[in-house]
Amino acid sequence: VGNAGILGPLSPLGHVEPKAWDDVIAVNVTANWHLIRSMDPLLRLSDAGRVVFLTSGVGSNPRAYWGPYAISKAGTIGMVRSLNMAKGRKDIKINVICPNAMTRLGAAPGRAVRIKRKGDTESARSRRGGWGGSRGLHKHRGLHRCTA
């Protein structure tokens, strides 16, 4: 499990000091890269290797002034995507979990949230019986598997 992470400075990117930038990238990206490099021989020997990285919803839904953190978390998501494309074995699983990635939808934990689909109209919702359906109504659990 790769769970490295520091927040770093919350300021416009142009005001971030190089040392602060380097610290965030070193912990949030480079440490995860070192982890996967060190695990590679073990994964290749395994019958069913598993690696999970915890990152952040900010990696896929950035916030203002969270530049170094958002960029580093997006970097981890990209790293996992790249690893999955290159691994060559289906029995090795590499995943990313983004805690709180769905909180931008405004639901409290444990409450249902409405997911509006592209092109969704009031008449389309009424034909489906409202917002319901397995694709329209989801429970918010504070965890989301990033698209990696």
pTM for the model = 0.65
SS3 77: helix
As a whole number, mean pLDDT of residues 101-108 equals 47
Residue with the bigger pLDDT between 90 and 13: it is 13
Q: What pLDDT does 61 receive?
A: 81
Residue with tokens 């019958």: 47
65 is catalytic: no
Both tokens assigned to 93: 């699983």
**What is the amino acid identity at position 89?**
R
Q: What percent of the chain has pLDDT over 70?
A: 66
As a whole number, mean pLDDT of residues 5-31 equals 94
* CA dihedral of residues 2, 111, 105, 140 (deg, nearest 10): 20
Question: Widest CA span of the chain, in angstroms?
Answer: 56
pLDDT band at 117 (very low <50, low <70, confident <90, very high): low
Calculate the alpha carbon distances from 26 to 11, 23, 55, 79, 112 in Å. 19, 5, 14, 14, 37
Q: What percent of the chain has pLDDT over 90?
A: 30
**What is the amino acid identity at position 48?**
A
- Evaluate whether 9 touches 17 at the Cβ level (below 8 Å): yes
Alpha-carbon Rg for the chain, nearest whole angstrom, is 19
Q: Which of 69, 77, 80, 94 is catalytic?
A: 69
As a whole number, mean pLDDT of residues 97-122 equals 54
